[in-house]
Structure 1
Amino acid sequence: MKRLTVAATVAALMLTGCASRSDGTTEITPSGAVASADATALLAEYGLAGKDTVQVIDHLDRLTLEQRPAADLKASVRPHELVLSRGGRQASLAVPGDRFYLSVAPYVNKTHDCFHHSLTTCKGELAAEDVGVRIVDETHDEVLLDEVRTTFANGFVGFWLPRDINGILQITYGSKSGRTKITTAKESPTCLTTLRLT
């Protein structure tokens, strides 16, 4: 019981702000479906009933800052699960086993530390801006994406990528650009805030 309490405390701390890395553990369910009655209840309270993990993540990351339920709902994206928390209650939804969600906040002047992306509290510098994105999967020598995307109101842009790859992410913004290595392994960050555009 003590171990579960410690794990729950660590997980709750991880859900405040943009989350830094931790060894806290939470239960991972085997599919992308709603994981428990607690998760179902939490989703229903925010109009997300019936949505799977991918749909919940996509919806929450695209909310305007005014629509974000930051004071109530915390939602942290981990490599294998989405952890939801509200008022001491916690539930998780599994991320599909073959997919990995990476949310990126490119920046010019100002950034912040982040490891696990918080869908309801993280905020980047470049909101609602068009950026050119090129993602190359070096593991399979394949271009996964090469197009213009618009950053969300929170300054991030999210990508559903294949799991267990090593790749290169390049972002251009006007005359500025940046490039970095990415991975989608089981211990990889879901939040990238270190890509400076120069």
Structure 2
Amino acid sequence: MTRAAIAIAALALALTGCAAPGAEPATTTAASQEQLLSAHGLAAMDARHMIDHLDQQQVTDRPTDLMASVYTDKLVFSDAEQDVVLDLPQDLTYVSIAPYVTRTHDCFYHSLTTCLGELDNEDVKVTITDEDTGQVLVEEETATFDNGFIGFWLPRETTGTIEITHQGRTGATEFSTTADGATCVTDLQMT
């Protein structure tokens, strides 16, 4: 592969804002972590509130100098100088879903600052079911965020099905909150 092709592939991944499986973050000191979080108004929040805040933030208000990636067990902030790693609650994983009709992107670990889905600010009906127990974990009518995603805190070590309905169209896909599960679900096409 030529250097130009490698550079183009790296740029494409950066522009989609989504991380590939296996990408692991570096760590930094507590003082530099506090400085990075304070610079973005996040220092007073725990990891769960940071995720909820950033995912629901208007796209035009999102920081352009910060990557915030959600893994199954941690939240990773990265800027030009450092990475900050915060643990998620031990019993929960955040799963962000971008239902679509015609356009999607590949994603594995959700980026709270750069991932964009097709259906922004749209009313949807969501049902999430645990495949082992048959228990309905989520059943609600809600609206996608400004970034085209909707996010849910789900029990860790769970697999199941997500079903979404929007304007007479329905789609379904599988999910997993195990250690090797995706936090960014972009394969739910509604037909």
TM-score, normalised with respect to structure 2: 0.87
- Structure 1, residues 134-189: CA drift from partner, whole Å, max 9, x if none? 01112222111111011000000001000001111100001100011111100111
2:41 aligned residue: 47
Counterpart of 1:44 in structure 2: which amino acid? S
Give the counterpart of 1:36 among 27, 30, 37.
30
- Structure 1, residues 5-49: CA drift from partner, whole Å, max 9, x if none? xxxxxxxx9876332424233469xxxxxx933222211111112
1:24 aligned residue: 23
User: Identity of aligned pairs, percent?
Assistant: 43
1:89 shift after superposition: 1.3
Q: State the Cα RMSD in Å.
A: 1.9
- Structure 1, residues 68-87: CA drift from partner, whole Å, max 9, x if none? 10x21110111111110112
Counterpart of 2:136 in structure 1: which amino acid? V
Return 5+ residue gaps in structure 2 as ranges: 1-11
TM-score, normalised with respect to structure 1: 0.85
Contact 2:76 2:83 in 1 (8 A): yes
Counterpart of 1:88 in structure 2: which amino acid? E
3-state SS in 1 of match to 2:43: coil
3-state SS in 1 of match to 2:173: strand
**For residues 130 and 69 of structure 2, what CA distance do their matches in structure 1 show?**
25
- 1:138 and 2:137 matched: no
1:148 aligned residue: 141
2:103 aligned residue: 110
**For residues 45 and 119 of structure 2, what CA distance do their matches in structure 1 show?**
28
- Structure 1, residues 93-138: CA drift from partner, whole Å, max 9, x if none? 1111110100000000111111110000000000000100001112
